[in-house]
Amino acid sequence: MNRRKFAELHLGLNRRAFLKQTSAAALGASASSLWLPGCGSDASGGEEPFDPSKAWWLQGNYAPVFDEVEASNLQVRGSIPAALDGRYIRNGSNPSNGESAHWFFGDGMLHSVRLSGGRAMAYRNRWVRTGQLANGGVLGGIPGGANNASNVSAIYHAGRLLTSGEVGLPFEIDPSDLSTMGLFDFDGGLTQSFTAHPKIDPATGYLHFFGYWFLGEDLLLYHVADDNGELISTERVPVGQTTMIHSFAITEQDAVFWEAPVLFDIDAAIGGEAVPFRWDPSYGARIGVMPLGGPVGDIRWVEVDPFYVFHEVNAYRSGDDVIVDVCWHPDMFNGADLGDSSGGAVKRWRINTAGTELTYSEEVVADRLFELASHDRRFTGRQHRHGWFAVTRDRPETVDFAGVGHIDYQTGVASEWDPGITRHAGEAFFVPGDSGDAEGWLLSFVYDHVAQQSVLAILDAQDVASGPVAEVVMPQRVPYGFHGVWIPE
């Protein structure tokens, strides 16, 4: 079955149908949402201004904030669900010196909101105290160890809150006040890199992660830490060169790696280029499946057409098939900027493992680009019904965030909360409210470029298109960022 046929028959989501459906959803949301006069809801303000003479990641709500703020008893619009009792902490790029060679390279800054008893108890933000921050916000030499930005993710495992960037070691953070406790290297067991996207197996509590590197033989290492946070295995995954592997996936039985032709360019790095990676389709692309936890020697690869994937929704095994839902790009670092989303899609990969050789097929789930995918992490590696996404508007000169998207993989229904042209939502992180699949809430920082105000929006995870049930007004602007975590009390 070809890609379009799958989209039409299985998920009912070709581009025309999707746009028709989400337009209707937006109309419905406008009648029931919380936007009030004077709260920046008026779409007549137009799209966010853009200065072509300035880097897009240093203007508008990408620009850094410099004050570390504490505030309590925050203003709330609507009603915060009583089930939300914990801290939402999100990481992001926030250059401490006001300059950065790319959005990906600014210093890590954490923003935390404490919710309890239907109230927004407190907000605070702190820089992650990295070696880069100590060096005036400038990366000194090859990133590694403490010399990294630690600006992408926040991970909570075995009672520890860790931050991570693309490469380098993680930092341990005190969740109560966001103070940096120090570098975390699993008692010396981790020496190179810690991915921004580790996976916690909900059955065992084990942390599966990897790290890629630039020199020597250990260009890609796969690690496992037990439910106490002790590193129990490290194995080398054989690769030909250093490629930018941002994430991977697990099922109940498998670890799934994908290697795309975005190659580390040592000459570009030495020459001081902003992004030392280049698109080289001659390297090829492949997807590998191996037993969860190892041994790596049993990994099997299947060659596929060149692509790039930053983020997956989730993965699971169905009989002999390994199914991975991904946010797919036709290329990356190929002359166009990140805002050029033409050709992007949500895809489903199906890798059959029955024969001596893996076989591969792919299907288009949504013929438009969703990014920063989220799922109910109680179902990591298990069959998922729901995926949530940050929606982007097609604006090639910048990454223009819009609303929050949702795909129900069982019914084929896609929906979107469109907050209006002046509002911009980031990653929507799922927080359980009850035990059922997707019974819970989505948390997303939303910025209004007319009001110049940020809120934490809270949405019903099963009714995204209706918009927020509550929003918490932030005491300062929260710049666009990357990934967050929820730490229950």
Q: Mean per-residue pLDDT for 349-362? A: 97
pTM: 0.90
Asked if residue 140 has pLDDT above 90, the reply is no
Q: Kindly tell me if the per-residue pLDDT of 305 is higher than 50.
A: yes
Residue 434, pLDDT > 50, answer yes
Tell me how many helices (H) and strands (E) the chain has.
4, 33
Q: Give pLDDT, residue 403.
A: 97
State the pLDDT confidence band at 248, using cuts at 50, 70 and 90.
very high
pLDDT score at 270: 65
Average pLDDT over residues 167-182: 97
Mean pLDDT of the chain: 89
Burial 248-261 (b: 16+ CB within 10 A, else e): bbbbbebbbbbbbb
Res. 258 pLDDT band, cuts 50 70 90:
very high
- Inform me whether the pLDDT recorded for 4 exceeds 50: no
Strand intervals (E) in 94-165: 108-116, 119-127, 153-157, 160-164
Question: What average pLDDT score do residues 262-273 get?
Answer: 77
Confidence of residue 139 (pLDDT cuts 50, 70, 90): confident
pLDDT per position as a tens digit, 180-223: 999 999 999 999 999 999 999 999 999 999 999 988 899 999 99
Q: How far is CA 345 from CA 4, 250, 311, 326, 336, in A?
A: 12, 21, 12, 8, 17
Report which DSSP code applies to 147.
B
The residues spanned by each domain of the chain are: 21-97+106-134+385-489, 195-378
Per-residue confidence (pLDDT) for residue 35, from 0 to 100: 36
- Phi then psi for residue 389, to 5 deg, are -145, 155
Cβ distance 406 to 464 under 8 Å? yes
pLDDT tens digits for range 435-458: 888 899 999 999 999 999 999 999
Q: Which residue in 482, 390, 479 sits closest to 59, CA to CA?
A: 479
Say if residue 385's pLDDT is above 70.
yes
**Per-residue pLDDT reduced to its tens digit, 318-347:** 999 999 999 999 999 887 777 666 688 999
Higher pLDDT, 225 or 274: 225
pLDDT at 25 over 50: no
Which pLDDT value is given to residue 414?
A: 87
Contact 92, 481 (CB under 8 A): yes
Q: Name the region of 419 (left: φ>0; alpha: ψ -120 to 50; beta: rest).
A: alpha
pLDDT of residue 44: 56
Among 131, 50, 57, 136, CA closest to 92: 57
The answer, yes or no, to whether residue 40 has pLDDT greater than 60, is no
**Predicted local distance difference test score (pLDDT) of residue 339:** 63
Identify which has the larger pLDDT, 148 or 25: 148
One DSSP character per residue, 285-353 reads EEEEEEETT--GGG-EEEEE---EEEEEEEEEEETTEEEEEEEEES-SSSSS-TT--TT-EEEEEEEE-
pLDDT value of residue 413: 85
DSSP 8-state symbol, 107: P
> Is 194 in contact with 169 (CB distance < 8 Å)?
yes
Give the pLDDT confidence score for residue 340 in this predicted structure: 67
> Token pair of 95, please?
């250059």
pLDDT tops 50 at residue 29: no
- What is the predicted pLDDT for the residue at 341? 60
Residues in the chain: 489
Q: Give yes or no for residue 37 having a pLDDT over 80.
A: no
Span 230-245, average pLDDT: 96
Q: What is the mean pLDDT of residues 294-322?
A: 97
- Pairing label, strands 249-250, 277-279: unpaired
Please give the pLDDT value at position 265.
84
pLDDT tens sequence across 75-129: 999 999 999 999 999 999 999 999 999 999 999 999 999 999 999 999 999 999 9
Token pair listed for 294: 């190892």
